[in-house]
């Protein structure tokens, strides 16, 4: 029998996911958390087979939490869940050690398929993510410009492209505005761009953010 921890800051989503998971007879134990602090506490207090992790928890980046969990709890499989377009985060979370990426616009049947696949020891890749990984090999050089960024630089790129301010990004990522500005400068230099508007245009054109 398996155990699943659900980490999402929306109570309605947690309740819905738990309801779906209760239809799976092989899962016998559940718990929920709404923040990264609660999630890490649950991981310390009990063993879990699977963590369903929202990429956008309010107190810390899901990618940061994922990397920490891979170091401290390597036996826990992680299914990252997000409302963002798969092209924005799927490849990055898989590189960071996730066992799968689930877009929230998919239905219960596909969610349970993802859970079963991961609990069986395999990686879950939706058809869209599989197509993305294949098509990435044929992308024009300009569209792959963000591939040279580190994970943290990529996060900063997406947040700047969405129109968030340096201070807002710093508060969300628990780093100083000065540090965000330094990352911004690196991103602009690596991508040979000059302004946030350039980053937004690029992100929209390549599907990293939605219009």
CA proximity to 39, closest of 83, 76, 12, 75 = 76
146 φ/ψ sector (left φ>0, alpha ψ -120 to 50, else beta) = alpha
Q: Which of 91-95, 117-121, 128-132, 166-170 shows the lowest per-residue confidence on average (mean pLDDT)?
A: 128-132
Across residues 192-196, what is the average pLDDT?
92
Structure tokens at 91: 């490849």
Dist. CA 201–CA 161, nearest whole Å? 8
DSSP conformation letters of 13-26: HHHHHHHHHTT-TT
**What is the rounded average pLDDT for all residues in the chain?**
86
**Domains along the chain?**
2-134 (3.40.50.2300), 140-206 (1.10.10.10)
DSSP conformation letters of 136-163: GGG--GGGGGGGGS-HHHHHHHHHHHTT
Residue labelled with tokens 């007879």: 25
* Residue 27 DSSP SS3: strand
Dist. CA 183–CA 164, nearest whole Å? 14
Strand order in the sheet with 77-82: 27-33, 2-7, 50-54, 77-82, 100-103
More confident residue, 137 or 84: 84
| Per-residue pLDDT tens digits for 81-111 | 887 656 666 777 887 889 998 888 888 999 9
- Predicted local distance difference test score (pLDDT) of residue 186: 93
Q: How far is CA 180 from CA 57, 67, 155, 174, 201, in A?
A: 19, 20, 11, 10, 20
């Amino acid at each position: 029998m398996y155990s699943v921890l659900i980490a999402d800051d929306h109570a309605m989503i947690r309740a819905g996911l738990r309801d779906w998971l209760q239809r799976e007879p092989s899962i016998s134990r559940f718990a929920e958390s709404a923040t990264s602090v609660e999630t890490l506490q649950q991981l310390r207090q009990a063993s879990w087979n699977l963590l369903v992790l929202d990429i956008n928890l309010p107190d810390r980046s899901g990618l940061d939490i994922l990397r920490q969990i891979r170091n401290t709890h390597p036996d826990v499989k992680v299914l990252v869940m997000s409302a963002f377009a798969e092209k924005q985060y799927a490849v990055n979370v898989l590189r960071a050690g996730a066992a799968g990426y689930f877009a929230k616009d998919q239905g219960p049947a596909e969610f349970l398929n993802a859970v079963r696949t991961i609990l069986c020891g395999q990686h879950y890749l939706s058809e869209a993510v599989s197509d993305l990984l294949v098509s990435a090999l044929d992308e024009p050089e300009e569209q792959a410009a963000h591939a040279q960024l580190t994970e943290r630089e990529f996060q900063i790129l997406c947040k700047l492209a969405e129109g968030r301010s340096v201070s807002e990004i710093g508060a969300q990522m628990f780093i100083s505005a000065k540090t965000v500005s330094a990352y911004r400068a690196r991103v602009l230099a690596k991508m040979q761009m000059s302004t946030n508007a350039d980053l937004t245009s690029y992100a929209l054109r390549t599907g990293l953010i939605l219009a």
